[in-house]
Amino acid sequence: MAIPIINDWQKYFTNPHEGLGSSYERIVLNQLLLRLQNKGIFSSVLETPCFGFTGISGINLVALAQAGCEVFLEDSDPMRINMIEEVWRELGYPMQIRFNTDFSKLDYPDRSLDFGFNFSAMWFVSDLPAFIREFTRVIRHQILICVPNRNGLGFQEQLKGYSPQLYPDLKPGFIDPASIIFQMKKCGWKLVDRNYIDCPPWPDIGMSKEDFIKGKTGLDLRSQAPDAPANLISILDYYKGKDPEFARNMMMLYPFERLAPKWFKSFWAHHQYLLFSP
C-alpha cells in the first residue's frame, strides 16, 4: 500500500496496468485464500474495507467467487463502488457491495457470514475497537487480516509525505499487529496463525519499479508509453480466462518467498497476515 493510491486510485479502472509487484501480490494472496477455503471452513466471505493497496480496488475475492463462495464487499466511496460493480459485471461473477461511511457499524446479522477479510485496509477504519467488535460479531468461523510489514525496508519510504493534516482518513496506528491482536482477544477471538506474505525478490517500494527509479534518478526506463499494450500487466484477463499462464508466470517468483528464512522476511516481506478464530 502506498500513500499515493489515496489520490489516484481511479487510474487503475481506466488503465488496469498494475505492474509486476501488485500482480505477484494478488496471486500469492489468492493462494492463501484458496488454501483456507479448500479446508471447507467457509462458503461466504465479507471483505471490509475493500479499499487497501495499489491496483484495481475490490477484486481481491474474485478467486473465491470463482471457487463458488458468496462474496460481500464494503467501501466508503460511492464512485469507487460503481467502478467496482462494473469490473465484477465485466468479469461475470456475482457479488454484493455496500456503502459504509466509516466501518464502525456493519449491517449484517450476528454470525451471518463464514469468513472475514481485509488486505492493507485497517488504517481506513475510523475506530479500531468499534470495527473489530462489529467484525467479530458478524463472522462465524475465521477472520484474516493482512497488514503492511511495518518493519519492512520499503514501509518508511512509502510513508514519506504522510501527515494527519494531509491524510486525515489514514490511521497508521491501526495496522499495528499487537493492537489488532489485543482488540480481537478482547472480543473472544484467538490468533491461530501468523506469517509473512508477499515476499518477492524486490523491496516494497509501493509503486512500479520504473516510477521509483525515475523519481530517484530522473531516468525513465520505459521504452514506450506506460499505457501501451505491450506494457500491460493485469490480472483481469486471467480472471476472464484469456491469460491462463498469468498465475504460473507470477508463481515463478515464489521460490524466493518459499525459501527465504523468517528473519529475512521480517525486513523484506511486504505484508504479514493474522488469522483468527473465535
Q: What DSSP string describes the chain? A: --TTHHHHTTHHHHS---HHHHHHHHHHHHHHHHHHHHTT--SEEEESS---SSSSTT-TTHHHHHTT-EEEEEES-HHHHHHHHHHHHHHT---EEEE-SSSS---S-TT-EEEEEEES-GGG-S-HHHHHHHHHHHEEEEEEEEEE-TTSTTHHHHHTT--TTT-TT--GGGG-HHHHHHHHHHTT-EEEEEEEE---SS---SS-HHHHHHHHH-----SS-TTSGGG---SHHHHTTS-TTHHHHHHTTHHHHHHS-HHHHHHH-SEEEEEEE-
Q: What is the mean pLDDT of residues 195-205?
A: 89
pLDDT of 211 reads 56
Mean pLDDT for all residues in the chain: 89
- Domain range annotation of the chain: 26-277
Does the pLDDT value for residue 134 go beyond 70?
Answer: yes
Q: pLDDT for 244-256, tens place per residue?
A: 999 999 999 999 9
Does the pLDDT value for residue 210 go beyond 70?
Answer: no
Single pTM value for the model:
0.91
Q: Which one of 3.90.1170.50, 3.30.420.40, 3.40.50.2300, 3.40.50.150 gives the CATH number of domain 26-277?
A: 3.40.50.150
Q: What is the mean pLDDT of residues 215-244?
A: 66
Q: pLDDT for 67-108, tens place per residue?
A: 999 999 999 999 999 999 999 999 999 999 999 999 999 999
Q: pLDDT for 80-89, tens place per residue?
A: 999 999 999 9
Does the pLDDT value for residue 212 go beyond 70?
Answer: no
